[in-house]
Chains A and B, each alone.
Chain A
Amino acid sequence: MTGAYLDHAATTPLRPEARAAVDEVLDAPAGNPSGQHAWARAARRRLDDARDKVADLLEVAPGEVVWTSGGTEADDLAITGVLAALGGRPACPAVEHHAVLGPVARAGGEVLPVDEAGRVDLDALDRLLDDDPTVRLVSVALANNELGTLIDLEAVAAVVRRARPGRARVLLHTDAVAAAPWVDLAGAARSADLLSISGHKLGGLAGSGVLVVRAGTPLQAVLPGGGQERERRGGTPALAAAVALAAAARAAAAARPEAIPRLATWRDRLVAGVLARAGEGVRPTVARDVSTLPGLAHLSVRDVPAEVLLVALDERGVAASPGSSCASGAARPSHVVAAIGVDDPWRRGSLRLSLGWCTTEADVQRAIDVVGAAIAELQRATAGAGR
């Protein structure tokens, strides 16, 4: 592939540190961590070393780290597993990832309104918890995966934990999948009872994830299997993917002080450059003063469906995303964009450009030229077609 890859929020290349960790596992003798011999012990040690690394980064105990097959499984285990143990229903904002919306809907959960940047309405959450004792779990993403909006999780936790006399405790889960590469998760892990991350968004391998389950959180396995992961997640853990996740998470954390200001600057330059070239037919979807992930830009394009724009960008060697996509590969108007109240003629033209750990300044310049020109061209053609 040649061109500028600006879809790091969908998945990001394997970091060299993660590759080295994977290679080590692949070169090592086979061993099932659950076995009772030297081979098993060696594998177990690698798995627990990786667990320790993740625990250190999140400032939690190693026993609170549960390996899963990815962010989706981690979210599902948090919601389905807690409710299986506690009973009751979940609640989440309307802008959550489908990995959360799916299990919330299946459990008959409540969906909460958000503001124009995708932040959960805390008053609505407070009222819901006052009015409805059946809500036992609230799930709020630390950062929205489409818009990049960061959430004040401490404020959410304060509402969830507010003393409500005579009421059972309500638990808080946070999907930190989108935030993980860019945010120190120790604070979120203190605020929440459960926290999900995914390996491939960090520069590890797809097919790996972690659910942090804070001590004292009731949880029943969704996949009981052979009782692995202290009976919270059955099945033999994917050792190579787990060590890659741990190595990638550590590398991401080490790079943050330098990467965050650089990517934020490049992102701002990207947005300004596209706006300058495409004129009034494009606008940032969330206001400038909203706190967002550093490398993510979400734009709304007038009158041009995202699908058409993405084909044009693809032809010109720029990888971007409509923010959401369905199983068939088509781009649907996003539920996130609908929830924050973006109307026609902007609603169908969602464009997410996401920078990552290996993005170069040349990628950003190319994206400015290509995206700006493509939007301007398509809008001229649309206007010419009389639509």
Chain B
Amino acid sequence: MKVLAMMSGGVDSSVAAALLRDEGHDVVGVTLKLWGGASDSGCCSVSDVDDARRAADALGLVHHVFDLSDDFTRHVVAPYAADHRAGRTPNPCIECNRHLKFAAVLERASLLGFDAVATGHHARVAPGPGGRRRIARGADVAKDQSYVLHVLGQQELARTLLPLGTLTKPEVRRRAAALGLRTATKPDSQDVCFITRTSGRRAFLGERIELTPGRVVDVDGATLGEVAAVELVTVGQRRGLGLAGGSAPRYVLDVDLPTATVTVGEQGDLLVAQQRVAELRWSDGVVGGALLAQCSAHGAPRPVTVEEDGEGGALLRWARPERRVAPGQSVVLYEGDEVVAGARAC
């Protein structure tokens, strides 16, 4: 097969490309230039492009660079700021997968005659009946990235290879070392790739949206403190509220943007019996019965039943009360280890 392997410069995608090459595929590497601004934590800097190019050289692969920074700004960065302004918690990695890696890149790959694209995500493409496919958890549970890949539909899954799905991270690093890749010991990328660790989320958003100071109150409405920007506060958050210690830990229960009020309470106050979601999308048709729902990239899956509301959303009923999910956060539904749907918390 002719495969376009997306190479970020990190160890995972380098090993993924190597595995495909060793299986006899005709592999070409591509690195995406996504963000023109400063970044010290992610996968888009010139130094990472250099790492990817050197990894491709070491593997004997042709390597190209695609500049998708305009698409990235439009589909990932602008919605990220808009979500914060609207009081929602965004997941830019998911939007990047939806609009860039498995859309714009896949489209270019098709134009150029590639049969498939590949990435170094820790997840699997599980075959089902009738040529249908689902995203499934990777072998390394701690590194599993099936959550951020829930947006892939049948069209995309049919042309996607995830060669790392059967390996653990230590196995990936061992293979990188055996291949002599200089990225073998490179730290994992973390956080949001377009936000620098040094100046942070607040500085980044402060340049793009108006940040509103707000009050922190308890469930009875008594003022406990102040926050500099309610747009940066997330439901479920415990740290960074500037509250005095001593008492039981307090969690954000609700953020009300119009009144710039953050309501906090005890952990138990966060628990709800049901969760409303919007933008529900089944990846391979409706699946009934008890499912598992995962509400953050590395959150624990919890049993749930789904009642569709007929308006593109659903009511999720938890088997046991669970913490409220921050509005905007992706909720991914699994049957066993396989992704069957994704939605966004209301």
In the complex, whether B204 has a CB less than 8 A from a CB of chain A is no
Contact of B111 with A385 in the complex, beta carbons under 8 Å: yes
Which residues of A are found within 8 Å of B46, using beta-carbon distances? 327-328
A327 to B66 alpha-carbon distance, docked (Å)? 12
In the complex, whether A339 has a CB less than 8 A from a CB of chain B is no
Contact of B111 with A307 in the complex, beta carbons under 8 Å: no
Contact of B33 with A385 in the complex, beta carbons under 8 Å: no
Binding site for B on A (CB under 8 A): 304-305, 307-308, 310-312, 314-315, 326-332, 378, 381-382, 385, 387
In the complex, whether B67 has a CB less than 8 A from a CB of chain A is yes
A328 to B47 alpha-carbon distance, docked (Å)? 8
The interface centre, meaning the residue of A307, A329, A378, A385 with most chain B CB atoms within 10 A of its CB, is A329
B346 CB → nearest A CB, Å: 33
A297 CB → nearest B CB, Å: 23
Q: Determine the residue in chain B with the shortest Cβ distance to A305.
A: B108
In the complex, whether B62 has a CB less than 8 A from a CB of chain A is yes
A382 to B46 alpha-carbon distance, docked (Å)? 30
A342 to B163 alpha-carbon distance, docked (Å)? 42
Contact of B112 with A308 in the complex, beta carbons under 8 Å: yes
Contact of A382 with B62 in the complex, beta carbons under 8 Å: no
Known A307-B66, A307-B67, A311-B64: A329·B49 in contact at CB below 8 Å:
yes
Contact of B110 with A381 in the complex, beta carbons under 8 Å: yes
B223 CB → nearest A CB, Å: 49
Known A312-B112, A326-B33, A327-B46: A307·B107 in contact at CB below 8 Å:
no
A335 CB → nearest B CB, Å: 14
Known A328-B33, A328-B49, A330-B33: A308·B111 in contact at CB below 8 Å:
yes
Which residues of A are found within 8 Å of B67, using beta-carbon distances? 307, 326, 328, 330-332
Which residues of A are found within 8 Å of B49, using beta-carbon distances? 328-330
In the complex, whether B250 has a CB less than 8 A from a CB of chain A is no
Contact of A381 with B111 in the complex, beta carbons under 8 Å: yes
Can you list 30 pairs linking A and B with CB atoms under 8 Å apart? A304-B111, A307-B65, A307-B67, A308-B108, A308-B111, A310-B64, A311-B28, A312-B112, A314-B62, A314-B64, A315-B112, A326-B33, A326-B67, A328-B67, A329-B49, A329-B53, A329-B65, A330-B49, A330-B66, A330-B67, A331-B65, A331-B67, A332-B67, A378-B111, A378-B112, A381-B110, A381-B111, A385-B110, A385-B111, A387-B107
A304 to B111 alpha-carbon distance, docked (Å)? 10
B5 CB → nearest A CB, Å: 14
Which residues of B are found within 8 Å of A311, using beta-carbon distances? 28, 64, 112
B96 CB → nearest A CB, Å: 16
Chain B, 75-126, CB within 8 A of any chain A CB? 107-108, 110-112
Contact partner of A328 (CB less than 8 A), chosen from B65, B108, B110, is: B65
Which residues of B are found within 8 Å of A329, using beta-carbon distances? 49, 53, 64-65
Which residues of A are found within 8 Å of B107, using beta-carbon distances? 385, 387
A33 CB → nearest B CB, Å: 35
Which residues of B are found within 8 Å of A305, using beta-carbon distances? 108
Which residues of B are found within 8 Å of A326, using beta-carbon distances? 33, 67
A20 to B28 alpha-carbon distance, docked (Å)? 39
B71 CB → nearest A CB, Å: 11
Which residues of B are found within 8 Å of A385, using beta-carbon distances? 107, 110-111
Contact of B110 with A307 in the complex, beta carbons under 8 Å: no
B247 CB → nearest A CB, Å: 50
A157 CB → nearest B CB, Å: 37
B52 CB → nearest A CB, Å: 10
A385 to B155 alpha-carbon distance, docked (Å)? 13
A350 CB → nearest B CB, Å: 13
Which residues of B are found within 8 Å of A331, using beta-carbon distances? 65, 67
Chain B, 20-41, CB within 8 A of any chain A CB? 28, 31, 33
B114 CB → nearest A CB, Å: 10
Contact of B111 with A382 in the complex, beta carbons under 8 Å: yes
B106 CB → nearest A CB, Å: 11
A339 CB → nearest B CB, Å: 18
Known pairs A311-B28, A328-B65 / 17 extra A-B pairs, C-beta < 8 Å: A307-B66, A307-B108, A308-B108, A310-B64, A311-B64, A312-B112, A314-B62, A326-B33, A327-B46, A328-B49, A329-B53, A329-B64, A330-B33, A330-B65, A330-B66, A331-B65, A387-B107
B124 CB → nearest A CB, Å: 28
Which residues of B are found within 8 Å of A382, using beta-carbon distances? 111
A331 to B33 alpha-carbon distance, docked (Å)? 10
A87 to B56 alpha-carbon distance, docked (Å)? 48
Which residues of B are found within 8 Å of A314, using beta-carbon distances? 62, 64
Closest 10 CB pairs of A and B: A330-B67, A330-B65, A329-B65, A330-B33, A328-B49, A381-B111, A328-B46, A328-B33, A308-B108, A311-B64
A225 CB → nearest B CB, Å: 29
Q: Determine the residue in chain A with the shortest Cβ distance to B62.
A: A314
Q: Determine the residue in chain B with the shortest Cβ distance to A312.
A: B112
Q: Determine the residue in chain A with the shortest Cβ distance to B64.
A: A311
Q: Determine the residue in chain B with the shortest Cβ distance to A382.
A: B111
Which residues of A are found within 8 Å of B33, using beta-carbon distances? 326, 328, 330
Q: Determine the residue in chain B with the shortest Cβ distance to A330.
A: B67
Q: Type the 1/0 row for B43-59, where 1 means its CB is closer than 8 Å to any CB of A.
A: 00010010001000000
A381 to B109 alpha-carbon distance, docked (Å)? 11
Chain B, 209-238, CB within 8 A of any chain A CB? none
A378 CB → nearest B CB, Å: 6
The interface centre, meaning the residue of A311, A314, A326, A382 with most chain B CB atoms within 10 A of its CB, is A311
Q: Determine the residue in chain A with the shortest Cβ distance to B34.
A: A330
A352 CB → nearest B CB, Å: 17
Contact partner of A307 (CB less than 8 A), chosen from B28, B62, B64, is: B64
Q: Determine the residue in chain B with the shortest Cβ distance to A322.
A: B67
Which residues of A are found within 8 Å of B108, using beta-carbon distances? 305, 307-308
B192 CB → nearest A CB, Å: 20
Which residues of B are found within 8 Å of A312, using beta-carbon distances? 112
The interface centre, meaning the residue of B28, B31, B49, B112 with most chain A CB atoms within 10 A of its CB, is B112
A265 to B78 alpha-carbon distance, docked (Å)? 49
B277 CB → nearest A CB, Å: 31
A97 to B123 alpha-carbon distance, docked (Å)? 45
B335 CB → nearest A CB, Å: 32
Q: Determine the residue in chain B with the shortest Cβ distance to A331.
A: B67
B307 CB → nearest A CB, Å: 36
A382 to B104 alpha-carbon distance, docked (Å)? 12
Which residues of A are found within 8 Å of B110, using beta-carbon distances? 381, 385
Q: Determine the residue in chain A with the shortest Cβ distance to B4.
A: A311
A329 to B45 alpha-carbon distance, docked (Å)? 12
